[in-house]
Copies of this chain bind each other. A is one copy, B any other.
Amino acid sequence: MSLTSAHLNTQIVLASRPTGAVTPDNFALREEPIPELTDGQVLVRHHYLSLDPYMRGRMNDGKNYAAPQAINAVMIGGTVGEIVATRHAKYAVGDSVVGMGGWQQFSVVDANQPGAVRKVDTQHVPLSAYLGTVGMPGVTAWYGLLKICEPKPGQTVVVTAASGAVGSTVGQLAKHHGARAVGIAGGPEKCAYVVNELGFDACIDYKAHADAAGLYRELKAATPDGVDCLFENVGGRVMDAVLSRMNAFGRVAVCGMISGYNGEPIPMTNPRLILTERLRIEGFIVSEHMEVWPQALHELGEGVATGRIKYRETVADGITHAPEAFIGLLNGRNFGKQLVKLI
Q: Which single member of B65, B254, B267 contacts A267 (CB below 8 Å)?
A: B267
Known: A65-B277, A282-B280. A235 touches B266 (CB 8 A): no
Interface check A19, CB cutoff 8 A: no
Task: Please name all residues of chain B whose beta carbon is closer than 8 Å to the beta carbon of A285 when the two chains form the complex.
Answer: 278
Cβ contact of A266, chosen from B265, B272, B282, cutoff 8 A: B272
Please indicate the chain B residues that have their CB under 8 angstroms from the CB of A270 in the complex: 265-267
Closest to A267 in B: B267
State the majority secondary structure of interface residues on A: loop
Pair B280/A281 contact, Cβ less than 8 Å? yes
Question: B274 and A278: CB pair below 8 A?
Answer: no
- Set of chain B residues within 8 Å of A265, measured between Cβ atoms: 269-270
Nearest Cβ distance between residue A118 and chain B, in whole angstroms?
25
**Total copies of the chain:** 2
Contact indicator B276/A235 (Cβ below 8 Å): no
Is A271 part of the contact surface with B, judged by Cβ < 8 Å?
Answer: yes
Say yes or no: A269-B272 contact (C-beta < 8 A), given A65-B278, A277-B283, A282-B280: no
Q: Is A213 an interface residue (CB 8 A)?
A: no
CB distance from A153 to the nearest CB of B (A): 23
Which listed residue (B57, B266, B276, B281) contacts A281, Cβ 8 A?
Answer: B281
| Closest-CB distance, A245 to chain B (whole angstroms) | 11
Whether the Cβ atoms of A283 and B278 lie closer than 8 Å is yes
Is A64 interfacial (CB-CB < 8 Å)? yes
* CA A284 to CA B279, docked complex, whole Å: 8
A73: interface (CB < 8 Å):
no
User: Which among B65, B239, B255, B267 is the interface contact of A269 at CB below 8 angstroms?
Assistant: B267
A-B contacts, 17 listed (Cβ < 8 Å): A63-B276, A235-B271, A254-B271, A256-B275, A257-B271, A265-B270, A267-B269, A267-B270, A268-B268, A276-B283, A278-B282, A278-B283, A278-B284, A279-B281, A279-B283, A280-B280, A281-B281
